[in-house]
Amino acid sequence: DMTPPQMIRVDDGLVAGKDVDAQTFLNLAFTTYLGDDNETAITDYLFSLGSQPGLTDILAEETGGDSLLNGVVGRPFDSEVTDGQLLYVNVRAVNEVGLSSGIMSSDGVRIGTAELDVSPATGGTMALNAQQAVE
């Protein structure tokens, strides 16, 4: 195999193919992703979190194995995050001969707010700020 894998998608959230733009949690992050390699199997996905696409300032790159769902749960990020901040997930795929795709980043998820699907037929969403609702 002389060609690296390619990333197809990176979504914020728990459901494959359904990207979320907001979440209430400040200490959790979830992502689903998919890569492809026409010649050999993908054996690892490496993911990180950043304050901008491609940056690793919130969570350094780590292995996700061959799982298509990953997250950061029950442990701190590498740096402090704030309510309303955008987090970007960065993922790259590695095939069984060690070739790596380029990094693909999510479109970002705003933390400290919630997203509510108000119209499944039209795909409309509404963001709620959980912190302001408490005050």
Residues 84, 111: contact at Cβ < 8 Å? yes
pLDDT of residue 134: 45
Task: Measure the CA–CA gap between 79 and 77, rounded to whole angstroms.
Answer: 5
pLDDT of residue 65: 87
Cα-Cα-Cα-Cα dihedral of 72, 76, 77, 78, to 10°? Answer: -140
pLDDT of residue 43: 96
pLDDT of residue 133: 45
pTM of the model: 0.81
DSSP annotation of 134:
H
Q: Which two tokens stand for residue 8?
A: 């197809």
Mean pLDDT, contiguous 10-residue spans, the chain (135 residues):
94 91 89 95 96 96 89 86 94 97 96 66 54 47
